[in-house]
Amino acid sequence: MNESAIHVMVWAEIPVLMAELESQFIVHNRAEIKDLAGWGAAEGPKIEAVITNGMLGTEVEVLEFLPNLKVVCSMGVGYDAIDTGYLSHRGIPVSNTPDVLNDAVAEAAMALMLCLTRRISQAERFIRQGAWGSQTFPAGYQLTGKTCGMVGLGKIGRTIARRAEAFGMNIAYYRRGGPYANLDYRHCHSIIELATEADYLVVIVPGGPDTRHLINDDVLAALGRNSYLINVSRGSVVDEAALIASLQTGGIAGAALDVFKNEPLVPEELIEMDNVILTPHLGSSTHETRQAMADLVLANLRQFFNDGTLITPIN
């Protein structure tokens, strides 16, 4: 394989990946293409691989200009933004980067849970505003002895659950496929049942039409005014309008959100609430994890052009 002769289209410039890609392949940056039709006619037939991520996905309008596309490699575990049906119809395989981000996302979930329940963000602002000494900062709640309800218990979910266990929490979960065999965690037969039991409801399921608004009015009502929602999956999984209404009326105690419906736009109502923790989709954002994800993207790409297979295929 002569990698230096292979043309690769990058959907977004990924700093940790670009130097390696540019040293080994001929790289075309989607963000720099202004005249898509002109570029497509001249350069589109040269492209054999596309690199993207789980949030940007792929645009069919662009893929139509790539008649010789052979593979799509995505940096991230989620792939709901990638039109896998279209690519499968064309016989184009897709890879993602599972497992290497489990620990980082689990750490982020626990950080959000702790920040929310111990009011860490508010406490930090309390000191910066000079209030310590003249006012008493209100007490928070501890995780020990509380129930962590996991909506989804895949590899990332289990990693979160193990960390929550280490904090002395009880673990319950719901999954559409029913209970896992040989797992001691309590399985609930519906999200409503899980929400009723949970002090902290952690959402970690794939995005897409099957999970859109999985967390809705009924789930939030079952969760109740003394419990919290933590979302580290996709913004589409939570009915954002229902969540805002519940928070405004005291329907739930608070929420910690790393993902949103229309990223990077965050509703002003959420920004204004003191019982909501907001982070900019940083679940996998550690230097170690991003490097491991980039390494896996490159390994998938190299292996595909060596023997036609992928290390982590999704279709």
- Give me the active site residues, please: 234, 263, 281
Cβ(66)–Cβ(88) below 8 Å? no
Residue recorded with tokens 């054999």: 48
Could you tell me where the DSSP H helices lie in 202-286?
Answer: 217-223, 240-248, 268-272
Cis peptide before 264 (omega within 30 of 0): yes
CA dist list (Å): 232 to 18, 78, 145, 179, 292? 27, 12, 22, 22, 20
| Distance separating alpha carbons of residues 47 and 26, to the nearest angstrom | 9
Give φ, ψ of 140 to 5 degrees: -105, -160
Rg of the chain's alpha carbons, rounded to an integer? Answer: 22
Three-state secondary-structure class, residue 136 = coil
